[in-house]
Amino acid sequence: MRLRNITGSREMIAESQYVVQEPEQYKGRWKEFFGNENPIHIEIGMGKGKFLTTLALQNPDINYIGIEKYSSVLLRATQKREEMEECTNLYFLRYDAEEILRVFDKDEVDRIYLNFSDPWPKDRHAKRRLTSKEFLKRYNEFLVPDGKVIFKSDNRMLFDFTLEQAAEARWQTSEVTYDLHHSEYVEGNVMTEYEEKFSAQGNPIHRVVLTR
């Protein structure tokens, strides 16, 4: 379902002014990068960027960083970003989430969005799921004490796995719903491209907020 092979995408990403090319150098210095003390929200596996670009326009007092490892997908997001000249609070990283501790320092991020993450259905790949206890341990290293991880998915297996992993890692769950669009939590919900597609097909959207 992902685009992977747009010719020249890696080169175009490398030249984009909206993609931070060596993000490791900003570890512990992201507020300096943005030039303000505003909170930082990140989306891991941001896809084509509809969700994050919408939030960035709605919330100019929050800094946003979108992380995506596939150049061909990230290219679509940079093309959207180029149309947002008035926006100064949104940048992207082409990066593998497994290396995220090289990019963010203690108490540097206020919120993490995980939207329709790869379910990695084989058991041997469970550690690669972005809501595994292994990833929750990573997030614990750079989220502020009252930081949140907000997860949405149409995959019931992955969602149940997430709740189990949160319990094992001693994270708290709240605002749990198996049908977001027919719940009390739908107000203010910003949809992703996948969410629009799955909802149109009649698939219920699951959502949970994780805190420590």
Domain regions of the chain by residue span:
9-211
CATH for 9-211, among 2.40.30.10, 3.40.91.50, 3.40.50.150, 3.30.70.1350? 3.40.50.150
**pLDDT higher at 3 or 69:** 69
Side chain identity at residue 201, one-letter code: Q
Known catalytic residues? 118
pLDDT band for position 8 (cuts 50, 70, 90): confident
Query: What six digits make up the tokens of 184?
Result: 């009390």
The answer to pTM > 0.75 is: yes
pLDDT for 1: 42
Q: β-strand 143-153 against 90-94: which pairing, if any? A: unpaired
Tens digit of each residue's pLDDT (9 = 90 or more) over 44-101: 999 889 999 999 999 999 999 999 998 888 998 999 899 888 899 999 999 999 999 9
Cα angle 40, 150, 86; round to 5: 40
Q: What is the mean pLDDT of the chain?
A: 94
* Beta-strand runs (E) in 96-187: 109-115, 143-153, 172-177
pLDDT for 86: 84
